[in-house]
């Protein structure tokens, strides 16, 4: 009896140790998997956010190169400027009709006024050419007076409408349409040092039939690109996610002079080289962004950074960023998140696990104690009701022990069989409870992610496992009842 209880206690200790070992191993696998899934999901979110920012920049850039878009968004301003010039010309025509001015005087006065009109920081102007065939003649060009009175037939002007058409012939064709028209072409752009050729430009032209003049104005498409860049910066500057915590930045691609073109939470460090003193750390981070974009075009960068809080910043918190190169502008777009929250989530899951494993161990201990009590009662019943004394044969010299069909030895065999069966049941219960624990943790994680479909599936599996454990325990009870009936007979 004492030996049996001793072996049961040893078995319980081993089962508990095995439970802790198996559950801990399963826990580590589960938490490692959860952490990898969290990191993967975080990476996907960062990539998706940057892709959205990238598409905004790409859309603004492509619009700045699209003639239809430019006509729609810039055409109105150009038309208004030509309206001013046309009003001046009409006033001079009226004076000629009234006899106040001769035609030559009126045209000279009109040219004098129009050539002095400037806009867009003195970059915008109005020119006048005529409708002479086959090539028009320049009447007045305010920034290149050497062109005045020249026939515009030089082959270098074959640069219009994307088909090498003579620019001034294109002006005449488009100007004579109702309401005038737009012409895209290449034209030198004035700089502080020299002229830069082959710069895209868009002009609006309109005919003035009274004098057979074409009046036009234009702007460099590069200015539209710059406008688009500023528009993109402002849009990204105000974009937020993750309850306003997440933001985007834009940095350059020159590793020798790392800088932010746009940094919404620190505009004071925009467009300055991040080197020297406290800026070195930030400059080194930007260099890592530049390197990975030059190598792959995009990628993830792990580093540590101070995390702001309501009280004092937390030093050197792990952070993960995703960056992507926008090659046409030489921009790197990026965003990042602190990943210490993932560790906090895993810590909460671990705490939940410890509570569950503690409950599991208690259940195993309680079940084992009940098993010991049951075995003790069973031994007591067997010793009291089923043991018989040995029978001595008087005719024989030797004594022999005669046993009944239900001797203690046979009962012991039945008990051992029941104990073996109990051990198997304990293993099954242990294994299934461990699975139940794993699914319970999985359900909790799924609920946190609001994954209702996976939660429903996991719940169904938990119910099936619970039924399996219940079925195993019921069989154990029936087996023990069957053995007890054998003892009685």
Task: Give the domain ranges of the chain.
Answer: 2-47+343-388+401-488, 65-226, 240-338
**Nearest one of 178, 180, 177, 165 to 216, comparing CA atoms:** 180
Nearest Cα to Cα of residue 59 among 329, 386, 437: 329
181-190: strand order across its sheet = 138-140, 126-130, 213-220, 195-208, 181-190, 158-160, 165-166
Q: How far apart are CA 20 and CA 361, in angstroms?
A: 8
Measuring CA to CA, which residue among 228, 250, 247, 231 is closest to residue 239? 247
The pLDDT of residue 358 is 75
**Any idea which fold 240-338 has?**
Beta-Lactamase (3.30.450)
* H/E element, 305: strand 298-307
Which is it for the CA torsion 423, 425, 429, 435, positive or negative? positive
Please report, for residues 81, 171, 211, the alpha-carbon distance to residue 90 in angstroms, rounded to integers and kept in the order given.
Answer: 15, 21, 10
pLDDT value for 396: 47
CB count within 10 Å of CB 430 equals 21
Distance, CA of 120 to CA of 417 (rounded, Å): 100
And the tokens for 262?
């746009």
Give residue 1's pLDDT. Answer: 55
pLDDT on residue 420: 58
Q: What pLDDT score was predicted for residue 250?
A: 98
Residue 389 has a CB neighbour count (10 Å cut-off) of 7
- Exposed e or buried b per residue across 68-102, where buried means at least 16 C-beta atoms within 10 angstroms of its C-beta: ebbbeebbeebbebbeebbebbeebbeebeeeebe
The owner of tokens 């040219």 is: 111
**Which candidate, 214, 215, 211, places its Cα nearest to that of 107?**
211
Query: 195 CB contacts (<8 Å, ≥6 apart)?
Result: 188, 189
Domain 65-226's class? Answer: alpha beta
Can you tell me the distance from the alpha carbon of 324 to that of 331, in angstroms, rounded to the nearest whole number?
A: 8
Q: Which of 316, 351, 345 is nearest to 448 (CA)?
A: 345
Identify whether 180 is preceded by a cis peptide bond (ω within 30 of 0): no
Q: Tens of pLDDT along the chain (489 residues)?
A: 556 667 667 776 776 677 677 767 776 777 677 778 888 989 999 999 999 999 999 999 999 989 999 999 999 999 999 999 999 999 999 999 999 999 999 999 999 999 999 998 888 999 999 999 999 999 999 999 999 999 999 999 999 988 889 999 999 999 999 999 999 998 877 666 666 667 899 999 999 999 999 999 999 998 899 999 999 999 999 999 988 889 999 999 999 999 999 999 999 999 999 998 888 999 999 999 999 999 999 999 999 998 887 778 888 899 999 999 999 999 999 999 998 877 666 666 667 767 777 777 777 777 777 777 777 777 677 666 655 554 545 444 444 444 444 454 544 445 555 555 555 555 555 555 555 555 555 655 555 555 445 445 545 554 554 455 455 545 554 555 555 455 445
Q: Do the first three CATH levels of 65-226 and 240-338 match, i.e. the same topology? A: yes
How much of the chain is in helix, strand and coil states, percent to nearest 5? 60, 20, 25
- Alpha-carbon span 233 to 222, nearest angstrom: 16
**Which residue's entry shows tokens 């090659």?**
327
What's the pLDDT score for residue 423?
56
Cβ burial, residue 488 (10 Å; 0-12/13-18/19+) = exposed
CA separation for the pair 320, 302 (Å, rounded): 5
Q: Find residue 195's DSSP bridge partners.
A: 190
According to DSSP, the residues that pair with 487 across neighbouring strands are none
The pTM of the whole model exceeds 0.95? no
Q: Which of 430, 441, 418 is nearest to 465 (CA)?
A: 430
Closest to 305 measured CA to CA, from 287, 321, 294? 321
């Amino acid at each position: 009896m004492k030996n049996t209880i001793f072996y049961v206690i040893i078995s319980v200790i081993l089962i508990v140790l095995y439970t802790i070992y198996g559950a801990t191993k399963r826990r580590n696998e589960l938490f490692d998997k959860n952490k990898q899934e969290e990191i993967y999901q975080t990476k996907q979110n960062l990539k998706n956010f940057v892709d959205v920012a990238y598409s905004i920049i790409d859309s603004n850039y492509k619009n700045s190169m699209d003639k239809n878009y430019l006509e729609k968004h810039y055409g109105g301003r150009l038309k208004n400027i030509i309206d001013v010039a046309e009003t001046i010309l009409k006033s001079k025509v009226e004076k000629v009709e009234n006899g106040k001015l001769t035609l030559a005087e009126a045209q000279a006065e009109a040219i004098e006024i129009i050539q002095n009109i400037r806009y867009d920081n003195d970059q915008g102007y109005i020119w006048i050419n005529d409708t002479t065939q086959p090539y028009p003649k320049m009447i007045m060009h305010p920034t290149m007076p050497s062109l005045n009175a020249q026939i515009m037939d030089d082959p270098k002007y074959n640069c219009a409408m994307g088909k090498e058409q003579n620019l001034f012939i294109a002006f005449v064709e488009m100007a004579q349409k109702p309401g005038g028209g737009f012409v895209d072409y290449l034209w030198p752009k004035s700089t502080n040092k020299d002229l830069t050729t082959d710069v895209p430009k868009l002009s609006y032209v309109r005919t003035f039939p009274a004098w057979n003049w074409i009046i036009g104005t234009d702007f460099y498409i590069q200015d539209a690109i710059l406008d688009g860049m500023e528009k993109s910066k402002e849009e990204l500057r105000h974009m937020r996610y993750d309850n306003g915590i997440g933001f985007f930045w834009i940095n350059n691609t020159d590793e020798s002079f790392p800088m932010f073109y746009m940094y919404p939470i620190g505009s004071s460090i925009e467009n300055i080289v991040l080197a020297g003193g406290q800026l070195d750390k930030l400059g080194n981070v930007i260099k890592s962004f530049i390197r990975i974009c030059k190598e792959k075009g995009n990628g993830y960068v792990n580093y540590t950074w101070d995390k702001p809080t309501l009280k004092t910043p937390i030093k050197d918190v792990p952070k993960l960023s995703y960056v992507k190169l926008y090659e046409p502008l030489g921009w790197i777009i990026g965003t990042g998140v602190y990943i210490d929250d993932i560790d906090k989530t895993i810590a909460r899951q671990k705490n939940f696990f410890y509570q569950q494993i503690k409950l599991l161990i208690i259940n195993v201990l309680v079940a084992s104690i009940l098993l010991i009590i049951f075995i003790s009662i069973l031994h007591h019943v067997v010793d009291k009701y089923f043991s018989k004394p040995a029978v001595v044969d008087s005719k024989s010299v030797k004594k022999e022990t005669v046993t009944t069909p239900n001797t203690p030895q046979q009962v012991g065999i039945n008990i051992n069989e029941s104990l073996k069966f109990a051990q198997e049941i304990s293993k099954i219960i242990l294994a299934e409870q461990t699975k139940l624990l794993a699914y319970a943790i999985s359900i909790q994680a799924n609920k946190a992610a609001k994954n209702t479909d996976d939660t429903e599936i996991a719940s169904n599996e938990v119910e099936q496992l619970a039924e399996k454990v219940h079925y195993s325990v019921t069989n154990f009870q029936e087996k023990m009842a069957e053995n007890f009936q054998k003892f009685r007979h």
